[in-house]
């Protein structure tokens, strides 16, 4: 396992694209092949991926609202229970405390019309969070991220 890295990795910069999760993991920009959050509750989140999996995610120009992890049905992808304070959610809560940069990646359509790709959006800071009813009625964590201001 690679060492935690906060900030840009290697020569990768915003706008760079990756054809799939394996390529993304190999680059080190987002190491987990499936999980949407890379990080630990001790150090915080290094990177996140918005892949259209959670109905409460919103990607805006000035702010991202990133739904926490858990509570989804593995077959349908629908929220079926409340999320809990564990794993990835604790990593994102820690990031709000530390102020360390979080790399943000987003699944987007490929420019050539091929399969979707993962685009590196840049460095963001977790500026706050809430825990309450999401669109499904179940309680979810929603993390607010804004572009990192150096």
d(CA 24, CA 87): 21
Neighbours of 140 (CB within 10 A): 26
Neighbours of 40 (CB within 10 A): 15
Tell me the CA distances in angstroms from 53 to 32, 77, 107, 112, 127, one per residue in order: 16, 7, 10, 23, 22
Give the chain as a DSSP string.
-PPP--S--TT--TT-EESSHHHHHHHTSS--SS-SEEEETTTEEEEEEE-S--TT-EE-SS-EEEE-S--B-TTT--B-S---SSHHHHHHHHHHHH---EEEEEEE--TTSSS-EEEEEEEEEEEEEEEEE-TTSSEEEEEEEEE---
The domains located in the chain, with CATH, are 17-147 (2.30.280.10)
* Residues 117, 48, 22, 114, Cα dihedral to 10°: -10
Phi and psi for 143 in degrees, rounded to 5? -100, 135
Does this model's pTM top 0.75? yes
| pLDDT at residue 107, rounded to an integer | 95
Query: Please, what is the Cα angle at 40 between 35 and 41, to 5 degrees?
Result: 125
| pLDDT at residue 32, rounded to an integer | 94
Per-residue pLDDT of the chain (150 residues; tens, 9 = 90+): 567 899 999 999 999 999 999 999 999 999 999 899 999 999 999 999 999 888 999 999 899 999 999 999 988 889 999 999 999 999 999 999 999 999 999 999 988 888 999 999 999 999 999 999 999 999 999 999 999 875
Q: Residue 21 is encoded by which pair of tokens?
A: 């999760």
| pLDDT at residue 88, rounded to an integer | 95
| pLDDT at residue 67, rounded to an integer | 94
| pLDDT at residue 131, rounded to an integer | 97
């Amino acid at each position: 396992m690679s060492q935690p890295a906060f900030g840009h990795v290697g020569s990768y910069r915003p706008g760079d694209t990756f054809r799939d999760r394996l390529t993304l993991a190999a680059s080190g920009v987002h190491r987990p092949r499936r999980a949407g959050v890379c990080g630990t509750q001790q150090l915080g989140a290094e990177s996140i991926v918005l892949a259209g999996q959670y109905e409460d995610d919103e990607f805006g120009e000035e702010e991202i609202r990133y739904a926490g992890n858990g509570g989804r049905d593995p077959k349908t992808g629908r929220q079926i229970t409340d999320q809990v304070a564990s794993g990835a959610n604790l990593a994102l809560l820690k990031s709000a405390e530390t102020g360390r940069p979080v790399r943000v990646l987003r699944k987007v359509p490929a420019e050539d019309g091929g399969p979707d790709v993962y685009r590196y959006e840049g460095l963001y800071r977790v500026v706050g969070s809430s825990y309450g009813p999401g669109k499904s009625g179940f309680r979810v964590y929603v993390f607010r991220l804004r572009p990192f201001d150096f």
